[in-house]
Amino acid sequence: IKKAYDSGHQIASHTWAHNIPSDVSQFDAMMQKTDKWIESVIGHKPAYFRAPRGECNSNCIEYLEDKNYKLIQWDVDTNDVNYRVKKAKEFLTENFNYERSNYLVLMHDVYEHTVREIVPWIVSHKPEGYKFVTVAECLGDKSSMYRS
């Protein structure tokens, strides 16, 4: 986390245990634990939150709004969790930047196959003028990646 942060990557919250408890007080305790740990590593609390599997019910949304989090949802899922990165690369190649000026793409850097397949794709597209940025910058909100 520290290395990613120091390299200019944005750090967002994603829960402590990769789930969202239905009990709001349990969810709050988990989010506070996560925030405290992230803050101890990078010196900041994240302002952005990506729900595991993108599943954030009305209680989750209400909690995030109350605590001033910004909920991240993606436009393109590389489906790398299911080893379908090559299909995602084909989609990105066919559609990237044609329909819109920006995309939020879901990937997991913990999978070797994702890094192996996607990094060369990114490197090959940078000379074409593509820019790879943080979620906040993609959403036009670069100044508030973190909360106090």
Q: Which domains does the chain have, with CATH numbers?
A: 2-73 (3.20.20.370), 76-135 (no CATH)
pLDDT by position in tens, the chain (length 148) = 999 999 999 999 998 888 888 899 999 999 999 999 999 999 999 999 999 888 999 999 999 999 999 999 887 777 777 776 666 677 677 766 566 678 788 877 777 777 787 788 888 888 988 888 899 998 888 778 998 7
Helix spans in 1-148 (H): 2-6, 24-42, 58-66, 85-95, 112-125, 135-138
Do 52 and 15 touch, CB atoms closer than 8 A? yes
pTM comes to 0.82
Residue 2 has φ and ψ, to the nearest 5°, of -60, -45
